């Protein structure tokens, strides 16, 4: 096995790598003397903000899942971002974290959120913006969707073009432009730039083996399958970087031409950003630059300036690159060329004709390497102390042994299904559905053990589960399911039944149906979109059907489990997803494999049915 495949990584513990890496970066200052501050690890948030910020300009906030370094924390400083909100690897930060960042840096001039177009980021940053506006902050949000890999995708992914929005808006904010002007220019840049990438493999998660994949055009920065696999031979003379670059440029120019960028090309041509996705050597990057600048299609467009080639928006150590095109005008040229503090920004370099000379002596070559290593482990809050406080304050909550038994059964099946669901999600996503649901299950189990769940009060039970999922589950699934339980709890309390005359099963149906409707409202998914709704909605319909037959009957868990299972199995026949990261995946990777979220829901209802049967027997 070669050294590149030996499995060694420069890490301590995988679960600490994000926090330790941020601490390492925060120990250095920019050449202008400025630096960054980190949020206290005990807060459970990873916020990175300028240490010289005076709240006298428009604040620029970005972020998302970690693993794309130096994006986004590496671009904090004068002339670029004010703050970054960092999630776990490939997982969106929480609503509370984004809102905390807004509160920390926003002054009278307001704030602009710059968000990559992924479901979790849209949901969490969007809800944080709404809550910030409620608090009186002036907040705008721009979503970047520059990917052109999948022409028919209604929700193109946000890629390296996001960094051009950072730079342009940073320059405008530094010279005192207002929020309205900055937002308008940001949207113009986001709408007019186009990005396409290619990679030989996916990035390797810390502590895990690398997934073996064929080279793919349009491979996502979270490891989502690309638009098509590339058949590359072993003969570098005919299947080397020249052939790869031709494939990428041809598809990129076609995708870029489909965008409405305002008529004729600007007089100043285009800017080209060349982004190393994490695993290219410096030698490879130089070859990529040469191949790109000499490609006839890019020469015809008029590439007048280049950013990179450098690692800018990476995917761990993915061996690949992406190209981004942006039409230029005088305003954008000035903003992109303006000075800024972050050293991760390589600057804009004008393109010049190649010039040769005849050397009179051997050329002298110099090289320098820099490395930084952080060893400080991330501190965490004392959960046992929190649990003790919970026992003291909530020990008298009403209980119901049957409800607790069924709840435990559902939670335990999610824990037992973690590996299965992760394997299923790896086919159409980033392989974390099982771990995400298991994290939520652990949060609820912890609350149950700490006597924080009122199993004898359905409304209070759903409200507390909603809170636990919001803080402990993560990802867009955590936000969506928290929304479901929170809204269901609200409906339950609105339909108070002090005399106990309404059938309990009817109240459960009404509350859960309301919760699902609110979840659909915010998440945007519907039945048939290949999501957990394809199992959840049939289960609720089965409950409603049993109520119509016998209104006073108890919940028919077995019927609900059968309906959920049929719905989950049916997702394996759906060739197109319209929600979540599966929406970016070609149909060939979907057909024959159930949606992992729907599978999780089906297993939960099966566990509930088994628990109900055991209690009845």
Cα gap 220→267, rounded to integer Å: 33
Buried b (16+ CB within 10 A) or exposed e, 148-164: bbbeebebbbbbbbbbb
Q: Which H or E element spans position 349? A: strand 348-350
The answer to whether 222 is a known catalytic residue is yes
Structure tokens belonging to residue 539: 């289960």
Residue in this structure with the two tokens 């937002």, named with its chain if needed: 183
d(CA 559, CA 548): 14
d(CA 617, CA 613): 6
Q: Which residues make Cβ contacts (< 8 Å) with residue 86, sequence separation at least 6? A: 18, 22, 46, 47, 48, 63, 64, 65, 66, 72, 73, 93
Phi/psi region, residue 101 (left: phi>0; alpha: psi -120 to 50; beta: rest), is alpha
**CA-based nearest residue to 45, from 98, 102, 113:** 98
Reduced to 3 states (helix: H, G, I; strand: E, B; else coil), residue 86 is strand
Q: Tokens 């990802």 — which residue?
A: 475
- Residue 356: Cβ within 10 Å count: 5
**DSSP E strands, 129-269:** 139-144, 194-199, 216-217, 228-229
Is the bond preceding 463 in cis, omega lying within 30 degrees of 0? no
72, 222, 256, 514: which is the annotated catalytic residue?
222
- Distance from C-alpha of 266 to C-alpha of 327, rounded to nearest angstrom: 7
Q: CB-hemisphere CA count at 13 Å for 162?
A: 32
In sequence order, the β-bridge partners of residue 557 are none
Distance of CA 609 to the CA centre of its chain: 34
Nearest CA to 302 out of 333, 335, 337 is that of 333
* Bridge partner residues of 147 (DSSP): 195
Euclidean distance between the first and final Cα of the chain, in Å?
Answer: 57
Enumerate the active-site residues: 222
């Amino acid at each position: 096995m070669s050294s590149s495949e030996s499995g060694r990584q420069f890490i301590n513990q995988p679960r600490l790598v994000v926090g330790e890496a941020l601490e390492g970066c925060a120990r250095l200052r920019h050449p202008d003397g400025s630096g960054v501050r980190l949020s206290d690890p005990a807060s459970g948030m990873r916020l990175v903000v300028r240490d010289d910020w005076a709240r006298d300009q428009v604040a620029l906030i970005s972020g998302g899942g970690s693993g794309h370094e130096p994006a986004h924390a590496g671009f904090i400083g004068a002339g670029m971002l004010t703050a970054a909100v960092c999630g776990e690897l490939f997982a969106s930060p929480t609503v509370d974290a984004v809102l905390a960042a807004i509160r920390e840096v926003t002054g009278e001039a307001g704030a602009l959120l710059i968000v990559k177009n992924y479901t979790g980021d849209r949901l969490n940053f969007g809800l944080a913006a709404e809550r910030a506006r409620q608090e009186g902050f002036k907040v705008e949000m721009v979503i970047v969707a520059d990917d052109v890999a999948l022409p028919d995708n209604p929700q193109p992914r946000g890629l390296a073009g996001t960094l051009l929005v950072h730079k342009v808006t940073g320059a405008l904010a530094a010279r005192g432009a207002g929020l309205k002007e900055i937002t308008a220019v940001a949207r113009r840049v986001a709408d007019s730039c186009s990005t396409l990438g290619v990679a030989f493999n996916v990035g390797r998660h810390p502590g895990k083996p690398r997934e073996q994949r064929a080279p793919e055009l349009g491979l996502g920065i979270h490891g989502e399958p690309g638009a098509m696999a590339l058949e590359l031979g072993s003969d570098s003379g005919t299947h080397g970087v020249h052939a790869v670059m031709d494939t990428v440029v041809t598809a990129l120019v076609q995708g870029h031409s489909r965008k409405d960028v305002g008529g004729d090309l600007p007089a100043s041509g285009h800017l080209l950003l060349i982004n190393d996705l994490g695993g290219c050597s410096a030698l490879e990057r130089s070859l990529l630059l040469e191949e790109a600048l000499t490609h006839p299609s890019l020469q015809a467009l008029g590439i007048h300036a280049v950013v990179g080639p450098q690692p800018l928006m990476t995917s761990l150590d993915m061996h690949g690159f992406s190209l981004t095109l942006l039409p230029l005008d005088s305003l954008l040229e000035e903003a992109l060329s303006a000075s800024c503090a972050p050293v991760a920004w390589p600057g804009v370099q004008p393109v010049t004709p190649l010039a040769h000379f005849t050397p009179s002596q051997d050329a002298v070559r110099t090289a320098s390497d820099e490395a930084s290593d952080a060893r400080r482990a991330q501190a965490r809050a004392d959960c046992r102390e929190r649990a003790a406080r919970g026992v003291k304050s909530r020990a008298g909550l009403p209980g119901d042994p049957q409800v607790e038994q069924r709840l435990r059964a559902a939670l335990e099946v999610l824990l037992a299904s973690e590996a299965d669901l992760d394997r299923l999600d790896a086919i159409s996503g980033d392989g974390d559905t099982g771990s995400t649901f298991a994290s939520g299950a652990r949060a609820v189990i912890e609350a149950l053990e700490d006597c924080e769940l009122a199993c004898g009060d359905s409304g209070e039970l759903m409200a507390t589960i909603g809170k636990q999922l919001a803080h402990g589950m993560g990802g867009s699934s955590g936000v969506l399911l928290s929304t479901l339980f929170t809204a269901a709890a609200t409906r339950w309390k609105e339909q108070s039944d002090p005399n106990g005359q309404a059938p309990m099963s009817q109240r459960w149906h009404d509350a859960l149906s309301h919760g699902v409707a609110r979840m659909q409202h915010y998440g945007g998914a519907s039945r048939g979109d290949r999501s957990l709704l394809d199992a959840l909605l049939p289960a609720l319909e089965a409950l409603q059907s049993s109520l119509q037959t016998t209104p006073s009957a108890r919940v028919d868990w077995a019927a609900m489990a059968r309906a959920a299972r049929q719905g989950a199995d049916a997702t394996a026949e759906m060739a197109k997803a319209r929600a979540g990261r599966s929406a970016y995946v070609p149909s060939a990777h979907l057909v024959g494999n159930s949606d992992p979220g729907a599978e999780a829901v089906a297993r939960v209802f099966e566990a509930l049915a088994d628990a109900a049967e055991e209690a009845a027997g």
